Amino acid sequence: MVYVGKSSKREKIRRLMMTITVEKLSYIWEDLTMIWFFWTRIESMLYSKIQLGKLDDHDPMMQEIKKLLSYDREGGWAVLSNGSNVVVNGHSTTILQALVEYDQSWKDQVPVKGFDLALQDHHRTIHGISHPCCRFDFPVTMGRIPETMKCPECNRAMEKFSTFLCCHDEVIPDVLFQ
């Protein structure tokens, strides 16, 4: 397991990375630049398709990219894989619940070879009950913002809003000039 942070909130990422390292919970990308590159590349894949007017709602890779970006904005995500095969790509709350319930209820009942399918099915059930929202924020400076966008989860047209946002996670002192 590797912690790759979030697309924003650098100070929170630093604190989490420190905890992960001190408590030896997992591996991390120690260089925050690598985290920035990861998120920039993921966003660039989506934005370039939008700018070219070629956003394909049936492209499986683009759907997974949209899910990651949406989950990142709505609290977090996890991708669980078995080698290069993705077992589950989901919202952090549904993935955590699926893993906890697996650990408590059926880890001794499901053979290791059946784990992938059992977790996928259980996660699909939890996701179907909780329906976490999908959300995209496009900076005004991006240029072309799509008129419509389909949800990567249910394929319905998403609602479009204008948003003003102030995130207080980053502590940047105000400098007063006299």
Q: What is the CA angle 140-9-147, rounded to 5?
A: 25
What's the whole-model pTM score?
0.69
Predicted confidence at residue 175, as pLDDT, reads: 45
Sequence letter at residue 161: F
Nearby residues of 69 by Cβ (< 8 Å), 6 or more positions away: 7, 42, 43, 46, 136
Per-residue pLDDT of the chain (178 residues; tens, 9 = 90+): 667 767 666 777 788 888 888 988 877 877 888 888 888 898 888 888 888 878 777 888 888 888 888 888 777 788 887 777 777 888 888 888 888 887 776 666 656 556 677 788 878 888 777 667 788 888 777 777 888 888 888 888 988 887 776 665 554 444 444 3
Residue from 62, 65, 100 nearest 79 by CA? 65
Structure tokens at 52: 């070219």
